[in-house]
Amino acid sequence: MKKLLSFITALGIVCAAAPYTAITSTPDSFEAAAADPVEGEDVLIAVVDAETMDYIPGVTVEIYLDNYKTDTVVTEASPVIYHHGGHSGTISIVSMPAGYTYAEGFTKERAFMEDSESAVLWLEIDGSYVPETTESVVTTGAPETTTTSSATTSIITTSATASSTSSTTVTTPVELPEEVTKGDITYALSEKYASVLKCSDTASGHISILTSVNYKPVEYIMSNAFKRSEISSVTIPNTVKGIFTYAFNGCSRLTTVTVPASVKSIEKGAFQDCFGLKSIFILNPSCEIDDSPYTINNDRVDGTGDKPDARYTGIIYGYKDSTAQAYAEKNGCKFVALDGEDSAKADVFVSIADDKKTLQTAYEKVTAYDINADGIVSVDEALYSAHDKFYEGGASAGYRSVISTFGNTLQKLWGIENGGAFGYTVNSKFSNSLDDEVQSGDSVYAFVYSDLSTFSDSYTKFGSYTVSSDAGEPIALTLSRSVYDSDYKQQFKPLDEAVITVDGKPTEYTTDEKGQVSILINEAGKHVISAVSEKYNIVPPVCIAEIKGTATERPEPTLKGDANLDDQVNIADAVLVMQVSTNPDKYARGKTDLSITLQGEVNADVDGSAGLSNSDALLIQKFKLGLIEKF
């Protein structure tokens, strides 16, 4: 019999353009089994035993064309010529003779294009596909081989009786990929990852693809996985890398789809004939998208000659100068740039703390976009955008949220997965949902709980997210922590005995019983002020200090406690200090004629901490009353 391929694997579909011309290849490479393609109307179909290279008759193959025509072909002992009339399609194995199966690494199907270019079922290696010619291919989970002196060799079958005498290499049978059904979706598990294999015929409404199955990430959506499904929406997780041919073909109830930034390729027909599809978001700017109008279409028109009979009348969302924009322009589709003026967006300030109480982002400005086209920018979209900007590898690597029975839930934050123990606030108030709206100027804070037993992590905040000061000038801060009253309403109480940190380093400054503290920063520039506490398990607060200029040399005190410089220490000095603390717009240095002077400020700072506070005023009163002898 004629040979099509020379490659040690079990079973594959081979399709190529007529006329047929045999070729010779080595065990380290494989090529299409045809040459001189004709103008796109015939395709050769054959199934071969890749161990013996013989054609296998009696294999039932289904052919599904992009014009909804479906044919069935039974293979013979030589290639079968099939006339496809210039349409593209998918050739799928639906049944095989008794005793045969297919080896790990091969899929059951292969697409062919309308121009009838040679198409061989590619071998899958570590989640990618080798080109039509490759060198020194090493497969994952490939059959183990041993050498024997016998001329009889077992081929990979479900029956131990099938054999061939064409080789001196014994091939150990390979276990078929495990199939696991979770809800309405069946997944195929290979050695390192899982793939969406098929969806239940009864599935409808919203459906979520799992991020992992049996601890293996779900990385691919296989061809025809959701073919003609009644689902109306789908969550594609950030683990998915590829969407294969005709994956969502004929999903007429599907209205909107978000393709996450993790997806590197969308193959032809992936969203063909999704007649209800109004919007599709493609978040990877460099995603490889098959440029055929059948890849994304929701309408059929009369196509003649070179004019395709498919078009998409919805909106494609993506980023400027992306492959999504290129696809839209080539196929005459409406395109909306997520980073353009036509989409809802918000400039928000995002802080993220990990489970070690380390601030990974501290009030960083992020432009978040309305990714799911619901007309608002949500907490979810703000956090996604922050990871895409600041996390190494982007949002697809560090962030994940999924639709569950509890709504939109957070599953991964800054690369950490801990069973969903995360907190998030908007403007220091705990948010009800990831879908809550955020607007420009809002502060979004997300953190990982470190205490997974009692969840004692206490959210904290300063009185302001930002402060501005000259170098060496006092910065007054008030620190508080979030608590709940008997009605479960969020409140804030002063946080005392907290040590202030600047740029992650502890300082000598500690909050008093009212949560107040005054600190000095002498170095100009942007600094992150936070705090740590031994008294409470706190989520680190965030305040960004913009320090201008250089520190002014401060004079030595002339008389400790003499705030008003009248050369004596009395109650008037204590009063002035309290006025500085309670009414800084009038009494803080440099504000009005009544303001304290620099020398008076130095004299009145008697409690050992930087800046003036009520603690200084109290010590001055005690000195005046003779309760203490010196400062």
Give the other-Cβ count within 10 Å of 464's Cβ.
Answer: 13
Question: Which residue stretches of 196-320 are H helix?
Answer: none
Question: Cα Rg for the chain, rounded, in angstroms?
Answer: 34
| Structure tokens, 360 | 């990974």
- Residue 122: pLDDT band (50, 70, 90) is very low
pLDDT at residue number 222:
92
pLDDT at residue number 228:
93
Say what the pTM is.
0.53
Give the other-Cβ count within 10 Å of 101's Cβ.
Answer: 15
SS3 400: strand
How far apart (Å, rounded) are the C-alpha atoms in residues 616 and 600?
A: 12
pLDDT at residue number 278:
87
- Residue 79: pLDDT band (50, 70, 90) is confident
pLDDT tens per residue, range 417-476: 988 899 999 999 999 899 999 999 999 999 999 999 999 999 999 999 999 998 888 899
User: Considering only 112-116, 477-481, 522-526, 554-558, which range has the smallest mean pLDDT?
Assistant: 112-116
Report yes or no: 236 and 263 within 8 Å, Cβ to Cβ. yes
pLDDT tens per residue, range 291-340: 999 999 999 887 655 667 899 999 898 999 999 999 999 999 999 888 77
pLDDT at residue number 249:
94
Q: Which amino acid makes up residue 67?
A: N
Report yes or no: 99 and 92 within 8 Å, Cβ to Cβ. no
User: Minimal CA–CA distance to 534: which of 571, 508, 496?
Assistant: 496
pLDDT at residue number 487:
86
